[in-house]
Amino acid sequence: MKAAPECFICLLNQALRTARVTGLDQEQTKALLRQSCSYLATTDFERTPPEISEELYKLFSRQTGNQDPYYFLKRESIKKALELYPDLKKKVSEAADPLRTSLKISLAGNIIDFGAGAVADWARIESFLDPGNLEIDHYEWLKEDLKKARKIIFLGDNAGETVFDRLFLEQLEQKVIYAVREKPIINDATLEEAKLSRLEEVAKLVSSGCQAPGTVLQSCHPEFLSLLSEADLIIAKGQGNFECLEQERGPFYFLLKAKCEVVARYLGVKPGSLVITRSRNFIPKYHRS
């Protein structure tokens, strides 16, 4: 999915948010935004948003020397998610359909703002477990394809959310490959955060090789691309992975919250909607286009 005009605003807003998270002063922030504008004015917008944003975050790191502005926020998110984990595990085991419940909790990880207290989070998870809340719901297809698949790859998204993904991974018979970003970008999980989330116990962790907040195939390790080509099923989590891969032909399912107007419009749902969707370009094996 190519970037839309709205992405200019969103990307500039991300630069501002990153400046705030790291405590830049007003003048440093203005300087960062000036540089960000200069980059956005000239960069190729016929690309996906994660491709464009990768350079934006590098620009931030060059200006500030900070390679991982969301370091503490990522750790806090994982800590809070691990605190919720035992209760959620119980919820899954007691559910009428544990697989579906675990998938919904994994999706809930894509919506929870850990800035709010754990009680509020709980209330949001509870409301999320309501059956009528997926705007696109290809669960039955996914369930069937999961049964048939021998090699499964799960493309992770944010730190913290990783802990919620674990509940889903525990429901599967086979150990899946769980892929994360190569280097810190926003609050996306890298190998370090995946390990802190104790995903090693239930999945084979790999880095995709990609440094963007998504899975940009031309930036991935050749070894990772081999893994993708061998997979029978690829579950891609979050908006960034969706934006990068929805045009690809392969055994893709996308699990995400449509966080912005652009992606929501593209999916034909309201902003804020939660979806489990089989790729429009679904084929049982991955063929690089």
| Interface residues toward its own copies, by CB under 8 A | 4-6, 8-9, 12-13, 16, 19, 26, 29-30, 33-35, 37-38, 40-42, 45
To its own copies, the closest distance from the beta carbon of 261 in angstroms equals 11
If the CB atoms of residues 35 and 64 are measured against its own copies, the closer one turns out to be: 35
Extract the tokens encoding 269.
């749902």
Measured torsion, CA atoms of residues 177, 178, 179, 185, in degrees rounded to the nearest 10: -170
If the CB atoms of residues 231 and 260 are measured against its own copies, the closer one turns out to be: 260
If the CB atoms of residues 56 and 107 are measured against its own copies, the closer one turns out to be: 56
If the CB atoms of residues 43 and 133 are measured against its own copies, the closer one turns out to be: 43
CA distance 146 to 169: 11
CA distance 131 to 13: 34
DSSP E strands in the chain: the ranges are: 134-137, 152-155, 176-180, 203-207, 233-237, 252-257, 274-278
Is the CB of residue 239 less than 8 Å from the CB of residue 263? yes
CA distance 86 to 90: 6
To its own copies, the closest distance from the beta carbon of 22 in angstroms equals 13
CA distance 229 to 77: 32
If the CB atoms of residues 259 and 278 are measured against its own copies, the closer one turns out to be: 259
Q: Does the CA dihedral 214-216-222-226 come out positive or negative?
A: positive
To its own copies, the closest distance from the beta carbon of 271 in angstroms equals 16
To its own copies, the closest distance from the beta carbon of 37 in angstroms equals 4
To its own copies, the closest distance from the beta carbon of 289 in angstroms equals 23
To its own copies, the closest distance from the beta carbon of 19 in angstroms equals 7
If the CB atoms of residues 12 and 136 are measured against its own copies, the closer one turns out to be: 12
